[in-house]
Every structure is written in C-alpha cells, then in structure tokens.
Amino acid sequence: MSWTIERRGRVAVVTMTTNPVNAQNRAFFADLHDAFDRLERDHADSPVVLTGTGSRFSAGLDLDEHFPLFAGHPEALTPWFQEYRATNMRLFTYPRPTVAAVNGHAFAGGLITAAVCDHRIAVAERARFGLNEVPIGIPMPAVYVRMLTHAWGAPVASRACLLGEVFTPEQAHALGMVHELAPAGDLLDRAVALAGRIPEDCVEQYAFTKRALQAGVLRDIAELADPLDRELSAVMTSDRARDAHRRTWEQLKGRPAEW
C-alpha cells in the first residue's frame, strides 16, 4: 500500500502505511522508494516529516518473511540485504531536512529508520524503543552501526546495539536517541514546525552542509562497513543464529518454527 504524502505548508508529511505495524519487508522497501520517488518528482524542495500510524512507528523487520529467509542458503541474503541497505541509505542521504515524528513503538529496523533522519521527535507517552537484533540472533549490519554512531554517538550506539535494551521515551531522550518529546496530540505539529525551520531559499545550503557532516560516515561505510558486511550472510545463517531465530519464533508465536 503506497504511503501517503500530505502537504502542510511547504512541508511534506509522509505517513508509512505498508501494514498496520509497518513491519519492514520487501513491500515496505518498495513503498519507501516509491514515496521518495514522488517526493523528488513532486516536492523536490520540501522538508520531510516521516511518521507512522496508530501506536506504532515501525516494528522493524517482518520476521514472518525474514526468519524463513535466514533459514535458507546464505547466498539468498546478499540481494535482500542490498535492498534493505538501500532504503536507509536513501533516507540518510536525502538532501532536504528530514524529521522523524516517532508516533509510537520503534523497534530494531524501525528505530534505525527513525535514527537516520536528521531530527527525531518522539511521543512522550506509552512508546518503547529498542534494538533487539543481537538477542534474537541477528547481527547488526556494520553500515547501520556506523549511521547510528553518527546519530547518537558511539557510547549510546554501542549500548543500544549490543545489549538489546528497551527504552522509555524519557530514557531515549536523556540518552540523545531522540531530540525532543511531545504529547501525542502535538507531535505532528511540532515536527512540521521543526522541518520548516530552514528557509525555502536555504535548502541548497542545508543539503551541502548535510553532505559535509556525513562525508566521514559515508567514507567509513564504503571503506570499512561494506567490506565487513560481506560476512553478514554467514553470521546471520549460522547454526547458532538459526537456533536463536527458532527460539524467538516460538516465544512470539507459541508454536515451533516450520522452517
């Protein structure tokens, strides 16, 4: 289901609507690229607010799709990972202001999607945030570790990636994972106001400065993270990883894995 794009003044509000919890799968990847194709075509100079619906921003990888994939041949993961990597790289390098209006829970890949936006405002109540990849047998891709380090600083990125902790909005704000908290009813208005702070005649200067800030990150991704991620498939499909995937599946679904 294509994501909605609504203009609020000069700001484009993009609402993720792939599925009720925005679980990230190939349909989600396609919807993200479709939305940013439309932004580039129809709203080229618009700052962007990215948000979800209901009580979820994004639940992260769709385990119904991905655990069976991870149980297969390692070579099958290479094209999948390139698709997945391309979504967050596109968002990370988008040459206009991007603000994540984190309307609810954001886990794993969903939290990464929020983190690669330039600015993050989260709902002040009920939401929880965390990167649970390592405790369920999924190695954190090096490309994402580098982007998270850029967004949060190395100590916070290390703590979040390695330990799989779940954070309240207050904890996430104190750690710098989100820049601001807002009541649910004010979240979108606040995000739109922030996204529109850069004057219309200064968006090219914003884009240049963003590229300059990210230059070291992109160099590290090309020279360090990408070579390391060539090992990702083997680590993700090892026997121990698959045992962890089955354990997680049984805990979530209440039945043995069929793959």
Tokens describing residue 101: 């209006």
Cα 50–chain centre separation: 11
Choose the catalytic residue: 6, 75, 83, 133: 133
Task: Give the β-pairing of 166-167 and 60-61.
Answer: unpaired
| Planar angle of CA 153, 176, 133, nearest 5 degrees | 70
Q: What does the block give as tokens for 53?
A: 């619906």
Nearest of 101, 22, 92 to residue 61 by alpha carbon: 22
- Helical packing angle, 142-152 and 203-220, nearest 10°: 130
Distance CA(26)–CA(65), nearest Å, equals: 9
For this structure, is 133 an active site residue?
yes
- Ramachandran assignment for 86, one of left (phi > 0), alpha (psi -120 to 50 degrees), beta (any other): alpha
CB 213, CB 131: distance < 8 Å: no
Q: Which residues are catalytic?
A: 133
